[in-house]
Amino acid sequence: MKCELVFVGTELLLGDILNTNAQYLSKRLAALGFDVLFQCVVGDNPERLKAVLEEGLERSDIIITTGGLGPTKDDLTKEVCAEVFSLPLEMHEESLCRIHDYFKEKNISMPKSNEKQALMPKGSVVFKNTNGTAPGCAMEKDGKRIIILPGPPREMCEMFENCVLPYLSRFSDHVIISHSVRTFGIGESMMAERAGDLLDMQNPTVAPYAKSGEALLRVTAKATTAQEAEKLIAPVVEEIKNRLGSFVYGVDCSGPEENIVALLKEKGLTLATAESCTGGLIGKRITDISGASSVFGCGIISYSNEVKKSVLGVKEELLEKYGAVSEAVAASMALGAVKCSGADLAVSVTGIAGPNSDGTDKPVGLVYIAVTDGSSFRIKKLLTGHSEKSCREYNRTVSASTALNEVRLFILESENNRKDINAFINSF
Amino acid sequence: MKCELVFVGTELLLGDILNTNAQYLSKRLAALGFDVLFQCVVGDNPERLKAVLEEGLERSDIIITTGGLGPTKDDLTKEVCAEVFSLPLEMHEESLCRIHDYFKEKNISMPKSNEKQALMPKGSVVFKNTNGTAPGCAMEKDGKRIIILPGPPREMCEMFENCVLPYLSRFSDHVIISHSVRTFGIGESMMAERAGDLLDMQNPTVAPYAKSGEALLRVTAKATTAQEAEKLIAPVVEEIKNRLGSFVYGVDCSGPEENIVALLKEKGLTLATAESCTGGLIGKRITDISGASSVFGCGIISYSNEVKKSVLGVKEELLEKYGAVSEAVAASMALGAVKCSGADLAVSVTGIAGPNSDGTDKPVGLVYIAVTDGSSFRIKKLLTGHSEKSCREYNRTVSASTALNEVRLFILESENNRKDINAFINSF
């Protein structure tokens, strides 16, 4: 079934808002097995909208629009769609009551202009708006369909999930299900190389994606039922895990922070952070996860050398001899964080986020990360290779992700491989 | 001059990526005075792309595309555009050298497939890619123009600013210039009320925007030169500042963090943070600003009560009697942060970010923020009113922004209004 999306709103053409509806609807429709061939954005202009709709109906079976359902005279999506299908608008009493109730609940008298939102194309299937006043609907003519949805994402998404999905599912004779195997520390090309022949499979398909140092393989199957699709996917996910080993940190989790909070909980461990160049980003990401307080209690943002010394106990001579961005200082910071926090583990990050250098000949993008439990440790030197003007965000993001991954590897690695942190620091 | 945007990429139609290029280009083109009438997304499909281009050229003067300039055989934007204008592709030696150099710098041998990226339509104006391998270009036929740009935002934005803007400026007979007056702590509706008649002006126009607790007024003027536009804007910006007073924290700055780093630098002050519910977000946002190290050296993420006591010196009895989310603890945290960091000022945040409550009857979204210089202080109770399932990010963002604003108000307020922090803490 061919489908296209039409987003109505001059604010989109002016760049005043980011079109998140486009990604949302595309993703959901792809999962339902619909082919989305075009997305189009038009302003609040009835002639241009009409032209786009007529053209779209020639090549596709279903058009879904968002936006232009408000109460003002600029909002004309419904009127134009009804005109294209030659359907008259009729008052939909149930919607009118709902709009009245909406204002009543808020203790506001309903403006007359909102009545127009309850006028619906004759014979259309009306979709209730649980987060606003404008109902949506599906209208049909000669086997072609237009579905109109409100523009605000909160209203659109809920209406899509509650009303449009059930409506659309009858047009889909199959489901598409995806699972993402998430990896860290392996480049996209090496990951693809190890996946090898799996990338040529047809059902499920296996596709690589990469972003800010992370790479994932998405396994997608098409089947008549969800159960069948899952059955096709499961052995492939297992095979990928075998081939990629400890590079894999999770399946379908939202990112390294979700993974590390779950892993710490599972092992009954607490973590502290000592951040220099990431400036609080690691703490922020850990505490993005609700319930992180059971595994994370303390972070030290030691952006200056004074705080590295006074709070984390890094020795002056290490800072002087090796500089703040060094193995010796990273290890000392992590050890200091374990000591001052009483946590089971600590991770430290010290590096040059850029765009400016730290005044030494060390390159922008050089970062040291240490993880310790107070006796043994793990250390990582990272060279992001990014030193251009806009590198700062990238370098900080990758440093924080790598730090979280190092914590994972420290927890999972064999204790036999570990070396003594005090001996290491004293060796400098 | 009429313009439309064509985004090429199956990944956009599948919803795998968010189309941030659409907003970026729309905003920049509107500022240049171009009318963007359509945006369209098509997959990596030459027939469909060709149809979209031919249709667009009938109604618009300029089409700008992004995406599909990569080295693989799927990447066909350049080839299709050249075909539409019947232009042959020729090797562009300068671009070929640049691509060679790009790989050389990274110490990788250049894959043969990348050579194709240096083939450019005959007679086109080639745009250098400083962040990647694919050059862009502008091609022209019979007064119509197609501009092709790479898809990755980092590459596209830099090419647009450095090459496309100068190229396009000659087609614009007027400029549109905007300045944003940013406020904090005043709601959008109260801001609009105070702006009053200014919102009805025609040139410049004044429009209100709101997001995550912040509200801004955008003043936009249209004129034949930038200087004229600035002349129209200046008195209106002044008038807005007068009407909104200390709610205004800056004009055209990127956010409260940029403002606070500049203000601290100007006053020669340093700041420390003591974060509970924001978990490092304030430190992260301050250190988003390059050069923040001259004003920010220390942050304590005291997510647990233990750390509030051991590192920040908050008294056990305050935590027991009033709970972690209280005025007394917020003030103690700030005082502790000044003491342990040696900074001139410290800001603390303690609250319930949600979605889960802290086990007391305090509501999700309750936050206390304190700022102190070690002797006097300022305290703020915030009730975000957001306790729904997805409130966490909102509550943390608003808490961090409010904290930064409180620091600004502390610095700017009269010292006569200040009260003694030790007396305040001892009063509990």
**Rounded CA gap, B49 and B10, in Å?**
11
Contact B39 A13 (CB under 8 A): yes
The β-bridge partners of B420 are B376
Inter-chain touch A303–B292, beta carbons under 8 Å: yes
Residues of chain A contacting residue B42, judged by C-beta atoms under 8 Å apart: 37-38
The helix or strand, by DSSP H or E, that contains position A389, with its residue range, turns out to be none
B contact residues 162-221, partner A, Cβ 8 Å cutoff: 209
Largest Cα–Cα separation, chain A: 84
Chain A contacts of B25, Cβ < 8 Å? 15
Pairs across A and B, CB distance < 8 A: 243
Q: CB within 8 A of B355, min separation 6: which ones? A: A290, B364, B387, B388, B389, B390, B391, B392
Residue A390 with chain B: CB contacts under 8 Å: 154, 158
On whether any CB of chain B is under 8 Å from the CB of A20, the answer is yes
CB A376 within 8 A of CB A420: yes
Average pLDDT over every residue of B206-218: 82
CB contact, 8 Å: B273 with chain A? Answer: yes
- B143: confidence class by pLDDT, cuts 50, 70, 90: very high
What is the C-alpha separation between A178 and A176, in angstroms, rounded? 7
With the C-alpha atoms ordered B246, B252, B258, B261, is the resulting torsion angle positive or negative? negative
pLDDT (tens, 9 = 90+) of chain A, 428 residues, equals 899 999 999 889 989 889 999 999 999 998 888 999 999 999 989 999 999 999 999 999 999 999 999 888 888 999 999 999 999 999 999 999 999 998 888 777 888 888 999 999 999 999 999 888 999 999 999 999 999 999 999 899 999 999 998 899 888 878 888 899 999 988 777 888 899 899 889 999 998 887 777 888 989 898 988 899 999 999 999 999 999 999 999 999 888 999 999 999 999 999 999 999 999 999 999 999 999 999 999 999 999 999 999 999 999 999 999 999 999 999 999 999 999 999 999 999 999 999 999 889 999 999 999 999 999 999 999 999 888 877 899 999 999 999 999 999 999 988 887 889 999 999 99
Contact call for B279 and A283, based on CB within 8 A: yes
Within 10 angstroms of residue B326's Cβ, the number of other Cβ atoms is 19
Cβ–Cβ below 8 Å for B280 and A291: no
Q: Is B108 on the interface with A (CB under 8 A)?
A: no
Angle, alpha carbons B365-B368-B372 (nearest 5°): 155
- In 3D space, the residue among A121, A146, A122, A126 whose CA is nearest the CA of residue A136 turns out to be A126
From B24, B35, B168, B48, select the one nearest A48 (Cα to Cα): B35
Residue B298 confidence class, pLDDT cut points 50, 70, 90: very high
Q: How much of chain B exceeds pLDDT 90, in percent?
A: 76
Q: Where are the alpha helices (DSSP H) in A182-269?
A: 188-195, 226-244, 256-267
Average pLDDT on B270-299 reads: 97
Kindly indicate the confidence band of residue B59, based on its pLDDT and cuts at 50, 70 and 90. very high
3-state secondary structure of A137: strand
* End-to-end CA separation in angstroms for chain A: 67
Q: Which pLDDT band holds residue B108 (cuts at 50, 70, 90)?
A: confident
For residue A224, give both structure tokens. 């008549």
Q: Does pLDDT of B241 surpass 80?
A: yes
For residue A393, the chain B residues in CB contact (below 8 A) are 288
- What CA–CA distance (Å, rounded) separates A168 from A161? 11
Give which of B161, B97, B85 is closest to B123, Cα–Cα.
B85
pLDDT above 80 (res B211):
no
Helices (H), B225-349: 226-244, 256-267, 281-287, 305-310, 316-322, 327-341
pLDDT at B169: 83
Query: Encoding tokens for residue A10?
Result: 């001059």
Sign, Cα dihedral of B386, B211, A148, B151: negative
For chain A positions 378-397, those within 8 Å of chain B (CB to CB) are 385, 388, 390, 392-393, 396
Token output for A331: 């290890």
- By the 8 A CB rule, do A217 and A191 touch? yes
Give the closest of B20, B279, B307 to A284, CB-based.
B279
Q: How many residues does chain A have?
A: 428
Res A254: pLDDT? 83
Residues facing B246 on adjacent strands: none
Identify the CA nearest to B64 among candidates B7, B161, B147. Answer: B147
* Contact list, A287 vs chain B (CB under 8 Å): 277-281, 301, 303, 353, 396
For strands B62-66 and B144-149, give the pairing.
parallel
Contact yes or no for A314/A336 (Cβ under 8 A)? yes
Chain B nearest-CA distance from A207, in A, is 11
**Residue A284 and residue B296: Cβ atoms within 8 Å?**
no
